[in-house]
Amino acid sequence: MQRANSRTVTVDLTHEGAYYGQLGPFETDLGWWSAVDGVVARATELAGVPVLVTRLLDGHSADPGHGGRVRYHAEALRAPAARTPRPPDAGTAALLAPAARRAAWATPDGLRSALEWARERLADLGRPTGAARQIRTWNLSGLFRFPSPVGADAWLKTTGPEFNAAEGEVIALLGGVDPALVPPVLAADPAAGRLLLDHVPGEDCWSPSEATVADVVPRFVAAQAALAGRPTALAGLRDRTPTMLHTQLTALLDRLPAETDLTAPERDRLHRFAAELPALLDELAACGLPETLLHGDFHPGNWRTGDARPVVVDYADACLGHPALDGLRPRAYLTPAAWHHHAEVWTAAWREHAPGSDPHRALELAAPLHHVSYALRYQEFLDHIEPSERPYHEGDPAAELRAALAAAPRGGARDAR
């Protein structure tokens, strides 16, 4: 499906608990619902005061998460003098009401608190800053850019600590091996899910060159290999090792069909696949690669390249697991030729750091486990977010479980039809 490059937006405006009606509808560039930079700019213009988006209220699209008609709640940072507060209708009041599992940065108070924390940390560092520019917000994270009149800009990232890694700690682990591999951390509050980063110049590598792959991948593998020998340092990571993934898959299957639209035959095949999985995990272990720190979302859009060496960003999904899961992640984002090159580079790097291992075979064997890991991660998102945010991920666990069946070895669950 071709992604929409715009959306029709309506904004429900509040200020300190008072409701000031709707702004729009208006068109905004970029179809991604979580991309709110343009929404903020237009809503600020219409309201006559600075505005920040707190969260998605509702969305309707053939491609959930992109395009269509989208409704947001936004908080005015000052009372909009040109508008009169009024009681919202019953439907709007219900949408604006508190809800369980709402992200901290998706409330006016939480949003202000996060921004104030960042400003205070920047002031402590002697770094002047202008007004924060809101770039992205959704159930997984909020992203804000703090412009600097002198020197580099700074970035605030907010995440839910209940189901995400402490990114500052992960960056410190990797940076202890290769400081140039990770973004510089200015401040972190892991309990609140807040991270303040220095700006990394360059662009995200959605279509990486062979030279970029040949730089990023061996460096990341080298860091993973070094950290694999430090189990105490990795003890705080979420456990997504193959054995744990099998346990979690079994638990998820016990929740079906309520959680997905999988058919009865598909559920039967998944139960057979789960029963056969220990044999596959034994084969994977025999490939000789160590369990280590995983990025968790190692696609090239999370690599940034500019004048300096490429940097790997976004560690919210970091965990302890099998490195082939990171090795497989770029596949969905690369052309067949680019994937072949990536796989060769990744395989050669692991052969260097794990002599006698068979990383090529590990990539083959880990393919269904890769999809299992994402089915579980997407379900984890759904279990921790409020209902209005579910359209972002609603069908993802089922899609990944179907992909796991398609990738299962021949003679196993894939052929059991």
Q: What is the CATH classification number for the domain harbouring 340?
A: 3.90.1200.10
pLDDT in tens, 38-78: 999 999 999 999 999 999 999 999 988 999 999 999 999 99
Q: Rounded to an integer, what is the distance from CA 400 to the centroid of its chain?
A: 16
pLDDT tens digits, one per residue of 188-217: 999 999 999 999 999 999 999 999 999 999
CATH of the domain at 111: 3.30.200.20
Whether pLDDT at 5 is above 90: no
Q: What is the pTM of this model?
A: 0.94
Same domain membership, residue 64 and residue 146: no
pLDDT at residue 415 greater than cutoff 50: no
Confidence at residue 259, expressed as pLDDT on a 0 to 100 scale = 80
> Are 387 and 280 within one domain?
yes
The residue out of 137, 164, 198 marking a domain boundary is 198
Asked whether residue 129 falls in the same domain as residue 82, the answer is no
Residue 13 has pLDDT above 70, yes or no: yes
pLDDT tens-digit readout, 283-318? 999 999 999 999 999 999 999 998 889 999 999 999
Is 223 a domain residue?
yes
pLDDT band for position 2 (cuts 50, 70, 90) = low
Domain boundary among 177, 198, 219: 198
Q: Is residue 225 part of a domain?
A: yes
Q: Are residues 369 and 267 in the same domain?
A: yes
* pLDDT higher than threshold 60 for residue 413: no
End position of a domain, from candidates 198, 219, 239:
198
Joined together, the tokens standing for residue 103 give 């992200």
Output the pLDDT for position 1: 54
Per-residue model confidence (pLDDT) at position 257: 85
What residues contact residue 238 under an 8 Å CB cut-off, 6+ apart?
Answer: 165, 318, 319, 320
Q: Which residues are within 8 A (CB) of 411 and not within 5 positions of it... i.e. 6 or more apart?
A: none
pLDDT at 31 over 60: yes
pLDDT in tens, 251-268: 999 998 888 889 999 999
Q: Evaluate whether residue 311 is within a structural domain.
A: yes
Count: domains in the chain: 3
pLDDT, the chain, mean: 95
Average pLDDT over residues 120-149: 95
- Answer whether residue 1 is part of any domain: no
Residue 21 lies in a domain: yes
Are 167 and 211 members of one domain? no
**Do 93 and 136 reside in the same domain of the chain?**
no
* Cα-trace Rg, the chain: 23
∠ CA 96-196-199, nearest 5°, is: 115
Q: Same domain, yes or no, for 258 and 165?
A: no
Residues 143 and 180 grouped into a single domain: yes
The range of the structural domain enclosing residue 274 comes to 203-415
Strand order in the sheet with 311-312: 203-204, 303-305, 311-312
Residues 67 and 51 grouped into a single domain: yes
383, part of any domain = yes
60 within a domain of the structure (yes/no): yes
Bigger pLDDT: 115 vs 389: 115
Q: Does residue 74 fall inside a structural domain?
A: yes
Express as a percent the part of the chain with pLDDT over 70: 98
Task: Say yes or no: 184 and 246 in one domain.
Answer: no
- Per-residue pLDDT tens for 320-377? 999 999 999 999 999 999 999 999 999 999 999 999 999 999 999 999 999 999 999 9
Q: At CB < 8 A and 24+ separation, what contacts does 132-136 make?
A: 132/156, 133/37, 133/40, 134/36, 134/37, 134/40, 134/52, 134/53, 135/35, 135/36, 135/37, 136/34, 136/35, 136/36, 136/37
How many whole angstroms from its chain centre is CA 322?
Answer: 19
Map tokens 């520019």 to a residue: 133
User: Has residue 414 got a pLDDT over 50?
Assistant: no
CA distance 144 to 215: 29
Q: Is 185 in the same domain as 212?
A: no
Residues 174 and 143 in one domain: yes
